[in-house]
Amino acid sequence: MAVRKTIMPAYHRAAIAEHVEMVRGVAEREIAEWPKDQPFAAHLRLRSLTLRVILTSIFGDEDRRTGELHTRLLKMLTVTGSIVLQEPQLRIIPGWRGVWHSFLSERTHVETLLSGLIDDEVHAKSQERGALALLLGAAGRSLSADEIRDHLMSLVLAGHETTASQLAWAFQLLAHNRTALATLTDELDQGGEIYLTAAVQEVLRHRPVFLFAIPRVLARPVEIAGRRYSPPGQLVGCIHLLHHDPDLYAAPQQFRPERFLDSPPQPAIWMPWGGGRKRCPGHNLATFEMHTIIREALTRWSLRPGGTPEPGRWRSVIVTPEHGCRIVTHPRTRLRIVPKPGDCAP
């Protein structure tokens, strides 16, 4: 909790505003390289994009080492597509053993690169107020060099894997909902943001990548829905079931951005970022990225499905489209209107 409090200023709305042009620039370059007129799995490309954003927000403009760190991290994190993290006994079985050893090898390279970048920041004595500088400011009080490296790794992982998966669901849902896609595309062509905001909120409701909230430890007896719970024990709230409760949302299994056009989501029943003191500290950056990347993609490309609607599958602790969000893109020629920085709503 102390570290969380330390880094929070790096993710306030005012701090996110400083990254507007950086996020747009990264999104434009990466999305311009998407394949055209053929099915492809968007999730890997979205992971690359969001990873580049979080690394740039922490370390500044890309150089040789941060470029290598980006490549190494993507290779290292292929392990989350398997179950060897959750099932240690698989790590010695042929077929799985190679996956685990590859992860360990890449992790060693990643840790070396991170340690070097941290040392550079220490010697530079930067006056920046980003997450790395804030962690270094806390180092004199309680954090070792290894702890700073590990906290940075947590930020990198949480700052791109979840956002990329949430974007994959966004493109999956839009590709298979032609009316919503047409409405959103028309709005973006006019420079609007209202339906885009509602669509992002509906994606987060309909397909939250975290199905469960962080467990709560019982400090005292509590009664919920007629059942009494007492210490010791933990309670785990199910975000997915909350978001699909027909008593809270009409036709909850349908993707309908219109449900949020007249009023924003109610925090008590809309919790894609969790709730309470453990709410995701990077939700402002993630939401802004979703707005920016969807806008850039749909003004550059027309979108259609690359197959049938995909069910979810576990990727470590989050849920992603089973086949990586297969879509087809085709270049558009319509006028592209980019909103001014003040028009963005992270």
Return the pLDDT at 138. Answer: 59
Written as six digits, the tokens of 75 are: 């290779």
Residue 43 and residue 320 in contact, taking contact as beta carbons nearer than 8 Å? yes
In 3D space, the residue among 305, 301, 296, 304 whose CA is nearest the CA of residue 330 turns out to be 301
Return the pLDDT at 127. Answer: 53
Tell me 209's DSSP state. Answer: S
Return the pLDDT at 344. Answer: 45
Return the pLDDT at 1. Answer: 77
Task: Report the pLDDT averaged over residues 155-177.
Answer: 94
pLDDT tens readout for residues 129-139: 567 777 777 55
Specify the number of domains making up the chain: 1
What is the average pLDDT score of the chain? 89
Return the pLDDT at 51. Answer: 95
Close Cβ partners of 80 (under 8 Å, ≥ 6 residues apart): 161, 315, 316
- Give burial (CB, 10 Å; 0-12/13-18/19+) of 128: middle
Q: Is the pLDDT of residue 319 over 80?
A: yes
The answer to whether the predicted template modeling score (pTM) of the entire model surpasses 0.85 is yes
Return the pLDDT at 346. Answer: 37
Q: Between 85 and 339, whose confidence is greater?
A: 85
Range of the domain at 42: 2-343
pLDDT tens readout for residues 33-74: 999 999 999 999 999 999 999 998 888 878 889 999 999 999
Return the pLDDT at 338. Answer: 53
- State the CATH number of the domain containing residue 165: 1.10.630.10
Specify the 3-state DSSP secondary structure of 327: strand
> For residues 108 and 76, what is the distance between their CA atoms, to the nearest angstrom?
10
